[in-house]
Chains A and B, each alone.
Chain A
Amino acid sequence: KQEVTQIPAALSVPEGENLVLNCSFTDSAIYNLQWFRQDPGKGLTSLLLIQSSQREQTSGRLNASLDKSSGRSTLYIAASQPGDSATYLCAILRGNKLVFGAGTILRVKS
């Protein structure tokens, strides 16, 4: 059974700080890995998708890496802003379904 773990569960940082969110998974036989953000009471916004053959993807201030051999992915957020405050979810695609971690709740203080 595929399990996805996200560390830390919650994170509070001052504005402007660079930060790293961690995701680990138990089975390296994944198709791809997706990072999402979820705002309270809202849906999920896809941030980055890394295919199994790729090592990283970048979008603006976000950079996500994937190391299948160690079963890890990191989401790096540069120069954090209060608008980045949300829950960040990591999900691996196993077959047809996304398997989600519990998320990291990020708060960026102004």
Chain B
Amino acid sequence: NAGVMQNPRHLVRRRGQEARLRCSPMKGHSHVYWYRQLPEEGLKFMVYLQKENIIDESGMPKERFSAEFPKEGPSILRIQQVVRGDSAAYFCASSRDISYNEQFFGPGTRLTVL
């Protein structure tokens, strides 16, 4: 039973480019969460999605960031026009259901903006 998969593991972008981060939840999990870990800071919630729906995006920056979890395929976190302050580790987690809600994390994508 594969765990949460994220790709790429490392991503380098120049300022102004777009970054696309992918997350495939564990088999049988329909809830996906994205978290960000900035250098020297703790993990912060960004967004919670179920298939085809954004449930809670209270942690998402208002501009340039978007997330989706289509009916088919992985969840995507998209960052447009990246800036150096976007450099961080982005983690995806998934859970089977909301009542118990043990979240399992992927290995993360480390984004570096030059």
Contact = CB atoms under 8 A, between A and B. Distances in A.
Interface of A: 31-32, 34, 36, 41-46, 49, 51, 89, 91, 93, 95-103
A69 to B, nearest CB: 22
Contacts of A100: 42-44
Contacts of B55: 96
A47 to B, nearest CB: 11
Given A44-B93, A96-B101, 10 more contacts: A32-B100, A32-B102, A43-B105, A43-B106, A43-B108, A44-B43, A46-B103, A89-B43, A97-B58, A100-B44
A44 B105 contact: yes
List the 8 closest pairs (A to B, CB-CB), nearest first: A97-B45, A44-B105, A43-B107, A100-B43, A96-B48, A49-B102, A102-B42, A43-B105
Contacts of B43: 44, 89, 91, 98, 100
Interface of B: 33, 35, 42-45, 48, 55-56, 58-59, 91, 93, 98, 100-108, 110
Contacts of A97: 33, 45, 48, 56, 58-59
Contacts of B108: 42-43
B1 to A, nearest CB: 14
A102 to B, nearest CB: 5
Contacts of B45: 97-99
Contacts of A95: 56
Most interface-central of A51, A97, A102 (chain B CB within 10 A): A97
Contacts of B33: 96-98
A51 B46 CA distance: 23
Contact of A46 (B100, B105, B110): B105
Nearest to B41: A102
